[in-house]
């Protein structure tokens, strides 16, 4: 991977780019416990953060932009702002193979296990190298996302954030763009099958189009997609044109908003009402927010110039959407971001918005 579209403009891939120039619980409709009950139960915070060593080790070696230091860049900033004291801290767990296969093809899971044992070779066509233990690390990322989803579905928390998650390029049968297993897809399947949800909003403001999620659910009306990203003519993966709106029964349920290279907060805020209106129209029962920090100015592999204010705005507005329609249920996933300072700023602003949501 790396460059999509032979003969077309050069497309920067997540990885290549660094080297290139350029239920057991609530059923559908069941109300969450009352606010007073929840607060008493969890020590006062309605937001959980799932973090720790297990997901920190999901990162690629040898100076890869998606290195294993991204988790700590976030965590240090969270602590320095005192936000760690204002959330429930939950530990990740390992997703089972059956959970991975809610979304992924068994043959692909086998392939990752084999590459993980040797640590040799690539998992895709070039951006996503194998390393020893990549299967376990990637399974822990999925498990962390499931811990957050269960905390929210059970009413233990109202909102959840997972820093190393939101691996939106992985497909059902392939790795792509630094993403081995698609934790978003597994959570979606879990919410559909285990909890019977039928309207799940997926909002993605990572600089890259969330192709792994989009194409897995292109014809599925359950997943309402709104994805703002750098125009695919200029950036990996090259997809996500405004004309792509879903197919069949899902026609119209997907919104793609390509932003021109160099777009900043003004362009983002101008586009935002369309995202919110689209999601609002479907009255989602659950909101998933992929808040990739690579859409901020200064990212080494993209060309958008948002600030963390955009991420905070989106988080606040989506909490309000979730409160109106989904009993408050929202998950934030960190997604991409290769400038460590941007990761720290954007993700902590999202957590802060979750904590301070009414």
Number of residues located near Zn ion, criterion CB under 5 A: 6
Signed CA dihedral, 10, 245, 225, 111: sign only: negative
DSSP character string of 162-204 = ESS---TT-BTTB-BTTBSS-HHHHHHHHHHHTT----EEEEE
Of 142 and 343, which has the nearer Cβ to Zn ion?
343
Please calculate the CA angle 253-255-258 and round it to the nearest 5 degrees.
Answer: 165
The one segment of 72-80, 294-302, 313-321, 325-333 that binds Zn ion by CB under 5 A = 294-302
Distance, in Å, from the CA atom of 261 to the CA atom of 264, rounded to the nearest integer, reads 9
DSSP reduced 3-state for 310: helix
- On whether the CB atoms of residues 187 and 74 are closer than 8 A, the answer is no
Residue 278 in the binding site for Zn ion (CB under 5 A): no
Residue 208 in the binding site for Zn ion (CB under 5 A): yes
Residue 127 in the binding site for Zn ion (CB under 5 A): no
Residues 86 to 125: which contact Zn ion by CB under 5 A? none
Residues 303 to 342: which contact Zn ion by CB under 5 A? 336
Residue 129 in the binding site for Zn ion (CB under 5 A): no
- Residue 104 CB contacts under 8 Å (≥ 6 apart), including other chains: 170, 172, 173, 181, 182, 185, 186
- The residue at minimum Cβ distance from Zn ion is 336
Of 47 and 342, which has the nearer Cβ to Zn ion?
342
Residue 294 in the binding site for Zn ion (CB under 5 A): yes
Exposure letters 292-301 (e unless 16+ CB within 10 A, then b): bbbbbbebeb
Of 99 and 204, which has the nearer Cβ to Zn ion?
204
Residue 206 in the binding site for Zn ion (CB under 5 A): yes
For the window 163-202, what string marks contact with Zn ion as x by the rule CB under 5 A? ----------------------------------------
Question: Could you tell me the smallest distance in angstroms from the CB atom of residue 145 to Zn ion?
Answer: 17
* List of residues contacting Zn ion (CB under 5 A): 206-208, 292, 294, 336
């Amino acid at each position: 991977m790396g460059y999509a579209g032979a003969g077309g403009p050069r497309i920067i891939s997540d990885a290549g780019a660094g080297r290139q120039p350029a239920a057991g619980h609530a059923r559908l409709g069941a109300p969450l416990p009352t606010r007073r009950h929840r607060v008493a139960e969890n020590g006062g915070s309605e937001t959980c953060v799932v973090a720790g060593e297990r997901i920190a080790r999901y990162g690629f070696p040898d100076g890869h932009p998606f290195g294993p230091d991204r988790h700590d860049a976030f965590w240090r900033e969270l602590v320095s702002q005192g936000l760690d004291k204002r959330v429930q801290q939950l530990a990740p767990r390992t997703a089972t193979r059956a959970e991975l296969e809610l979304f992924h093809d068994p043959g692909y899971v086998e392939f990752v296990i084999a590459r993980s044992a040797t640590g040799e070779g690539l998992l895709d066509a070039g951006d996503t190298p194998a390393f020893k233990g990549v299967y376990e690390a990637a399974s822990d990322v999925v498990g962390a996302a499931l811990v957050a989803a269960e905390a929210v579905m059970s009413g233990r928390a109202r909102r959840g954030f997972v820093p190393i998650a939101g691996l939106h390029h992985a497909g059902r049968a392939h790795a792509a763009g630094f993403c081995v297993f698609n934790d978003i897809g597994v959570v979606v399947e879990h919410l559909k099958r285990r909890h019977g949800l039928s309207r799940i909003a997926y909002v993605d403001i990572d600089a890259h189009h969330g192709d792994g999620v989009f194409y897995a659910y292109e014809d599925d009306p359950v997943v309402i997609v709104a994805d703002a990203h750098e125009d695919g003519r200029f950036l990996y993966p090259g997809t996500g044109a405004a004309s792509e709106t879903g197919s069949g029964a899902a026609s119209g349920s997907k919104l793609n908003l390509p932003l021109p290279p160099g777009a900043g907060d003004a362009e983002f805020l101008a586009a935002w009402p369309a995202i919110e209106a689209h999601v609002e129209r479907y009255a989602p029962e659950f909101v998933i927010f992929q808040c990739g920090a690579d859409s901020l100015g200064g990212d080494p592999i993209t060309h958008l110039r948002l600030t963390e204010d955009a991420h905070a705005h989106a988080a606040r507005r989506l909490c309000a959407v979730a409160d109106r329609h989904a009993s408050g249920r929202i998950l934030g996933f960190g997604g991409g971001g290769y400038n460590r300072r941007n990761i720290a700023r954007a993700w902590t602003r999202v957590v802060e918005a979750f904590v301070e949501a009414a």
